[in-house]
Structure 1
Amino acid sequence: MYETNNIGNNESEGITRRDFLKWGAAAGLGMSALSIAGFPDLAEAQKIPGSKSTLDNTKATKGGTLRYRFFADPPTLDPNAHISFATYMFSGQVYNKLVRYDFGEGVDPLNRGLVPDLAEKWEQPDELTYKFHLKKGVKFHNLPPVNGRELISDDIKFSLERHLNPAVSSPVRHYFSELASIDLPDKHTVILKTKQPFSPMINYLASNFSWIVAKEVIERDGDAKKTSIGTGPFILEEYVRNNKIAFKKNPDYHWNAHPHVDKLEFLIIKDHSQSMAAMRAKQLDINYLYDKMMVDELKKTNPETKVLKLAGASLFIMFNTEKPPLDNIKVRQAINHAINRQAINDSVYFGDSGFTSMIPTVLPEWTLSADESAHLYRYDPALAKKLMAASGLPKGTEITMNLCEIYGPHIMDTGVLIQENLKEIGIKGVINRLEYGAYLKAWPEGTFQINLGPQVTFIEPDEWTYGQFHSQASRNYSKVKDKDLDKKLEEQRRLFDKVKRKKLLDEIQRELAEKAYQLPLTYGVGYYCMQPYVKNFEVPFWYGLALDDTWLEKA
């Protein structure tokens, strides 16, 4: 249960893509535009005036301060230690990765290919080997103790191995658990070898959490919580909790002519009404809203506001299956069929959402069909009551549901609807409203019964399956221990044949629906609201919100 996502940078002139596209396709990332059920015209929705797909970037105005609304303080600034949206959106300004997902003109917003970031090119000579050639002359930020030195291959090795260090408590440790070795033939070459065929490898290197850190910072401080030094487009200047995170332009950034703005500010505004007031007063340049009604209200008073609608984070219920009563499969199954997802879509999302499977709708190559998802997660009160009777759970049993309103008023609205659904089958649902830090802390600690919230849109299907349900996975917050499921989860990771992998993942998704360890509720929709002078802002769907390509056209 996590959050939203983003990326940026389209300046790829002079960079070879042939190897990247070849192996991106092998990992299951097609480049053709796909129609997403329930998301009509999403690709067109991104082509608003001022977006990357409609503007000539050579006309960009330099300078100014871009002010972006941030929902909450990051739980940590260490890019390898948390999967919070606030952490990885911060990280997207300061750090880079080996590879990233493509975006920009002519690229379908929901179907990204892989392109270079710190790597100039790569080859995969066999199913166990990945060879990366780093860009030369890439510099870390010119701050002590790193002092602007060149990025070298040892930095890649150090950063990837850091995820496997128990002291870091990386929530994505399973990304790199299959690494057998990291060899460094020279200072600009990295060779990764896996223990066995591991099809998610490339996608995991491009994920929101595979940032490359400066070794000197970790060796001096023990972590990256206090000092943030990377190779990214912006340099951290100041962080005042509950106020703002301020950055300045990195003059040595390895993508030429970027960033366009001199300064970037993340203004921490937790209250959505306050964020709307700031937009009206031109104190904010970009604001993200989950609530369509709030967007409509803003447009009434400020009709010049540009709105970018796009697929957002899907909403899920996470069960703690380690403790009664949710260790009882009948109780979990009853809750599945007691929830009226159509009512959530109609009354909370105003018809903008719909059914999804465990692998969400925004990954059309891997998800189940909309019809099958609707059947597996159907509203069936009679069946739910029958399952409850079979469970033996006493009528009136209390079950607590954690939620955090930092994500928007729709979270509480959804919680209230679910509470009413639970009442119909004899469960007394108790809503536990938590502040952001406590909400996040409860997952790994297992101090919850039900957790209601959004999940970031991981592009790799292994993250939705192995990452959350394998008994040894670092994000198995539902505490699942299922040996038969473990075997299937391990097998799908070894498959490079997309057809065979899809077949097995379909089987896994059906099993997850049957066992109800987690419950997908709806796929999400979000709205980026921008001042009319904000140009070239396009949400790169699979990154950490890079804003180096955005510019301001002000008088």
Structure 2
Amino acid sequence: MRSTIATASLLSLALFTAAPYALAANSLVFCSEASPSGFDTAQYTSATDNDAAQPLYNRLAEFEKGGTVAIPALATSWDVSADGLVYTFHLREGVKFHSNKAFTPSRNFNADDVLFTFNRMLNTEHPFRLAYPTEFPYFTGMGMDKKIHSVTKSGPMTVVFTLNSVDAAFIQNLAMSFASILSAEYAEQLMAAGKARDINQQPIGTGPYIFQRYQKDAQIRYKGNPDYWAPEQVKLDQLIFAINTDASVRLQKLRKNECQVTLHPRPADVPGLKADPQLQVIESPGYNLGYISYNVRHAPLDKLAVRQALDMAVNKQAIIDAVYQGAGQKAVNGMPPSQWSYDSSIQDAPYNPDKARELLRAAGVKEGTELTLWAMPVQRPYNPNARLMAEMLQADWAKIGIKARIVSYEWGEYLKRSKNGEHDISLIGWTGDNGDPDNWLGTLYSCAAIGGNNYSMWCDEQYDRLIKSAIASTDRELRSGLYQQAQRYLKQQVPITPIAHSTVSQPLRADVQGFKVSPFGRNDFSGVSIVD
């Protein structure tokens, strides 16, 4: 099907400057907070990367806008075998891939594209993976490389996933960004030309918007897809991501109508935004967690008593008051209270610097021991001011004889180095991806997630047995019981200190319609328009 995209004046081809954009009619500028590392979503886990790729791709199933229910997308339906081990997906006919200067598709989307997308992640000897070696942290972090036995086709528009074990969250997992469907034909052309890496910087998808160009730390430009299979979702001629790391700059641009949507305002700015008649602020409870991650592979953090000491020396309420400024709820658990199976019986250890100092002495930790404390360089929904939080932690831990040296890097480098375990302690967080407890307890703290989102490098067999048993069952009551046991064990072992769940405030111009706040922290511009 072909959508009707209004003819508009061309965008200025000048690179981003401090001046306002020369905009085509029916265009939208999104003030983003950081530069993506690339557009091959299977490689990345941050919201910045996923947001930048969101306009370009589709998945077999996708989450309904603003909700947590997975609905058909590139698959129109699916069947599940009685034993829960075989999923048969029936694919959507007539879906077209994008084209660019180097690639024009010769066919529509079919089963071969699904096979390429997943077998590249599943098979370490896959030809494209050999041509472009990379890691897939979500795929392996959720253990999907172990759970999926095979991905095959039974016809040109039918794909069969056979699992080694039951995965109660399988459909939700396939609706996540890492499972975006790529073009097998484009991949073959890139390999033949010796340019396999271009799949990450010159992306081709089936999504509502087509990639035009990207300048790091400046802008990403997309244009409306005239051949999109759901034409009612393409309401903009041009979509621009203007990258601004400074929240005050983003706010200034929003007020001047130089961007129409932005994100992560400072809590102190929210009342003023709400009072501006030219703006609207959408608020929603945060499905998120900001926390401190202790690298248990680095001494003395390998000792439980040391982690307990650091945990009980954190003046959590003072941090919430200063950093979140009324927009944060104290966190005591490894996931938010709105997640089903949350164990409300879990309590924090009391704030007790004197006891903390005793624990450190008993563990043989000398006065003045230095540890690195990594602070994120960007605002996130779960942490609006990581630098201030780090400074407050530095002061808290100085009271018990620990010298915390604050370290920071550019956001992509920060994540890369953290996943490599270079930090002692890092400030990090998470916004849920699929509505299932495993997306917290498995994705963040399991053995399989080391090198992915397990920044504590914590691997515990007892904990892993609990979460593996839970994901292998379709009995929700049984799963809840196992996840609650896992939460209690996580709290006892202290690989993290939960700090807060924040309220999400999404500021945008009053004339923006169709934008919905995602519980997963994604900024999705399908179906979004500017109304005169």
Do they fold alike, i.e. is TM over 0.5? yes
- Can you list the C-alpha shifts for 1:32-75, whole angstroms capped at 9, x where unaligned? xxxxxxxxxxxxxxxxxxxxxxxxxxxxxx96111001111101
CA distance in 2, matches of 1:159, 1:130: 16
Determine the structure 1 residue equivalent to 2:488: 510
Determine the structure 2 residue equivalent to 1:547: 525
Determine the structure 1 residue equivalent to 2:438: 462
Q: 1:444 to 1:433 in 2, by over 3 A?
A: closer
* Alpha-carbon distance, 1:272 to partner: 1.3
Amino acid at match of 1:97: R
The question of whether the paired residues in 2 share the 8 Å contact of 1:98 and 1:118 is answered with yes
The question of whether the paired residues in 1 share the 8 Å contact of 2:61 and 2:70 is answered with yes
Mapped pair 1:487 → 2:465 = yes
CA distance in 1, matches of 2:459, 2:217: 39
Which residue of the other structure, out of 210, 219, 222, is the alignment partner of 2:196? 222
Mapped pair 1:307 → 2:281 = yes
The question of whether the paired residues in 2 share the 8 Å contact of 1:359 and 1:367 is answered with no
Gaps of at least 5 residues in structure 1 are 1-61
CA distance in 2, matches of 1:244, 1:427: 41
Determine the structure 2 residue equivalent to 1:390: 362
Mapped pair 1:125 → 2:81 = yes
Amino acid at match of 2:161: L
Q: 1:362 to 1:225 in 2, by over 3 A?
A: farther
Which structure 2 residues correspond to residues 351-430 of structure 1 after superposition, within 5 A?
351-361=326-336, 363-369=338-344, 372-373=345-346, 375-376=347-348, 378-407=350-379, 410-430=385-405
Q: Normalised by the size of structure 2, how large is the TM-score?
A: 0.86
Which residue of the other structure, out of 155, 177, 187, is the alignment partner of 1:186? 155
Tell me: higher relative CO, structure 1 or 2? Use CA pairs within 8 A at least 6 residues apart: 1
Q: 1:483 to 1:361 in 2, by over 3 A?
A: closer
CA distance in 2, matches of 1:453, 1:553: 37
CA distance in 1, matches of 2:497, 2:115: 37
> Which SS does the other structure have where 1:407 is aligned?
coil
Identity of aligned residues (%): 27
> Which SS does the other structure have where 1:405 is aligned?
coil
Amino acid at match of 1:149: R
Q: RMSD over aligned Cα, in angstroms? A: 2.2
Q: 1:358 to 1:212 in 2, by over 3 A?
A: farther
Q: 1:214 to 1:197 in 2, by over 3 A?
A: same
* Alpha-carbon distance, 1:304 to partner: 2.7
Determine the structure 1 residue equivalent to 2:169: 200
> Which SS does the other structure have where 1:469 is aligned?
coil
Determine the structure 1 residue equivalent to 2:323: 348
Q: Normalised by the size of structure 1, how large is the TM-score?
A: 0.82
Q: 1:123 to 1:142 in 2, by over 3 A?
A: same
Determine the structure 2 residue equivalent to 1:471: 447
CA distance in 1, matches of 2:362, 2:431: 35
* Alpha-carbon distance, 1:345 to partner: 2.0
After TM superposition, the structure 1 stretch with the greater mean CA deviation from structure 2, 244-253 or 134-143, is 134-143
CA distance in 2, matches of 1:470, 1:165: 22
Matched positions, count: 484
CA distance in 1, matches of 2:337, 2:282: 17
> Which SS does the other structure have where 2:150 is aligned?
strand
Which residue of the other structure, out of 130, 134, 146, is the alignment partner of 1:168? 134
- Can you list the C-alpha shifts for 1:183-235, whole angstroms capped at 9, x where unaligned? 21111111111112222212211123211111233331324222211010000
The question of whether the paired residues in 1 share the 8 Å contact of 2:390 and 2:406 is answered with yes
CA distance in 2, matches of 1:440, 1:345: 24
Amino acid at match of 1:113: V
- Can you list the C-alpha shifts for 1:271-303, whole angstroms capped at 9, x where unaligned? 111112212221010111242212234456x44
The question of whether the paired residues in 2 share the 8 Å contact of 1:355 and 1:523 is answered with yes
Which structure 2 residues correspond to residues 260-339 of structure 1 after superposition, within 5 A?
260-299=235-274, 302-312=276-286, 313-339=288-314
> Which SS does the other structure have where 2:307 is aligned?
helix
> Which SS does the other structure have where 2:500 is aligned?
strand
Amino acid at match of 2:447: S
Q: 1:363 to 1:194 in 2, by over 3 A?
A: farther
Amino acid at match of 1:78: D
Gaps of at least 5 residues in structure 2 are 1-23, 125-132
Which residue of the other structure, out of 44, 58, 69, is the alignment partner of 1:96? 58
> Which SS does the other structure have where 1:376 is aligned?
coil
* Alpha-carbon distance, 1:102 to partner: 1.9
CA distance in 2, matches of 1:524, 1:117: 31
The question of whether the paired residues in 1 share the 8 Å contact of 2:42 and 2:177 is answered with no
The question of whether the paired residues in 2 share the 8 Å contact of 1:81 and 1:170 is answered with yes
> Which SS does the other structure have where 2:328 is aligned?
coil
The question of whether the paired residues in 2 share the 8 Å contact of 1:72 and 1:270 is answered with yes
Determine the structure 2 residue equivalent to 1:68: 30
CA distance in 2, matches of 1:425, 1:183: 58
- Can you list the C-alpha shifts for 1:485-516, whole angstroms capped at 9, x where unaligned? 23223222211111111111111111111111
The question of whether the paired residues in 2 share the 8 Å contact of 1:208 and 1:542 is answered with no
Determine the structure 1 residue equivalent to 2:116: 158
- Can you list the C-alpha shifts for 1:387-446, whole angstroms capped at 9, x where unaligned? 223322112211111112311652122112212221222211221132213211212221
* Alpha-carbon distance, 1:96 to partner: 0.6
